[in-house]
Structure 1
Amino acid sequence: MSELDIRKLLKSVIAYKASDLHLVSGSEPQIRIDGKLIPLNLPKLDGKQIEEMCYGIITDKQKKIFEEEGELDFALMVPNVGRFRVNYYTTLGDIAAAFRIIPLKVPTLEDINAPEIFYQIIKREKGLILVTGPTGSGKSTTLAAMLNEINTHERKHILTIEDPVEFVHENKKSLFSHREVGSDTKSFAIALKYALREDPDIILIGEMRDKETISAALTAAETGHLVLGTLHTNSASQTVNRIIDVFSGDEQPQVRAMLSTSLVAVISQALIPKIGGGRVATFEILINTPAIANLIRENKTHQIYSQMQLNQQQTGMQTQTQVILKLLKNHVISKEDALRYSNRPEELKNLIQAL
Structure 2
Amino acid sequence: MLMTGATGSGKSTSLASLITEINAKYSKHILTIEDPIEYLFNDNKSIISQRELGVDTNTFPAAMRAALREDPDVILLGEMRDPETIDMALTAAETGHLVFSTLHSPDAAETMNRIVSSFMPNAQPTIRSKLAGNLRGIVSQRLLPHKSGKGRALAAEVMTTSALVREYILDPLKVAEIAEVIKKGTSAEGMLPYDRSLLELVRKDQITEDIALQYASSPTDLKLKLEGF
Q: TM-score range by the shorter chain?
A: over 0.9
Instruction: Please state how far the C-alpha of 1:311 moved relative to its aligned partner.
Output: 4.3
Is the 8 Å Cα contact of residues 211 and 247 (structure 1) preserved in structure 2?
Answer: yes
Distance 1:213 1:157 in 2: 21
Higher normalized contact order (CA 8 Å, seq sep 6+, divided by chain length): 2
Distance 1:153 1:353 in 2: 42
Instruction: Please state how far the C-alpha of 1:332 moved relative to its aligned partner.
Output: 2.1
**TM-score normalised by structure 2 residue count:** 0.93
Q: Which residue of 2 aligns with 1:348?
A: 219
> Residue 175 of structure 1: which of 39, 47, 50 is its match?
47
Instruction: Please state how far the C-alpha of 1:353 moved relative to its aligned partner.
Output: 4.6
Q: How many residues align?
A: 224
Secondary structure, aligned partner of 1:321: helix
- Give the share of equivalent positions with the same residue, in percent: 43
Is the 8 Å Cα contact of residues 61 and 88 (structure 2) preserved in structure 1?
Answer: yes
Is the 8 Å Cα contact of residues 325 and 352 (structure 1) preserved in structure 2?
Answer: no
Is the 8 Å Cα contact of residues 146 and 152 (structure 2) preserved in structure 1?
Answer: yes
Q: Which residue of 1 aligns with 2:194?
A: 320
Is the 8 Å Cα contact of residues 134 and 233 (structure 1) preserved in structure 2?
Answer: yes
Q: Which residue of 1 aligns with 2:207?
A: 333
Distance 1:248 1:339 in 2: 38
Distance 1:329 1:153 in 2: 32
Structure 1, unmatched stretches of 5+, are 1-128
Distance 1:325 1:313 in 2: 14
Is the 8 Å Cα contact of residues 213 and 223 (structure 2) preserved in structure 1?
Answer: no
**Residue deviations 1:133-156 (CA, integer Å, cap 9, x gap):** 001111011001101111011111
Is the 8 Å Cα contact of residues 213 and 222 (structure 2) preserved in structure 1?
Answer: no
Instruction: Please state how far the C-alpha of 1:240 moved relative to its aligned partner.
Output: 1.3
Distance 1:183 1:203 in 2: 18
Confirm or deny that 1:283 pairs with 2:151: no
Distance 1:196 1:236 in 2: 27
Instruction: Please state how far the C-alpha of 1:193 moved relative to its aligned partner.
Output: 1.7
Q: Which has the higher helix share?
A: 2
Secondary structure, aligned partner of 1:251: helix
Q: Which residue of 2 aligns with 1:46?
A: none
Instruction: Please state how far the C-alpha of 1:272 moved relative to its aligned partner.
Output: 0.8
Distance 1:161 1:204 in 2: 6
Is the 8 Å Cα contact of residues 151 and 171 (structure 1) preserved in structure 2?
Answer: yes
> Residue 216 of structure 1: which of 80, 88, 93 is its match?
88
Paired letter, 1:323: S
Secondary structure, aligned partner of 2:122: coil
**Equivalent residue runs for 1:112-261 within 5 Å:** 129-261=1-133
Q: Which residue of 2 aligns with 1:62?
A: none
> Residue 262 of structure 1: which of 122, 128, 134 is its match?
134
Q: Which has the higher strand share?
A: 1
Secondary structure, aligned partner of 1:259: helix
Structural RMSD (CA) = 1.4
**Residue deviations 1:227-272 (CA, integer Å, cap 9, x gap):** 0000001112211111111111111111100100000010000111
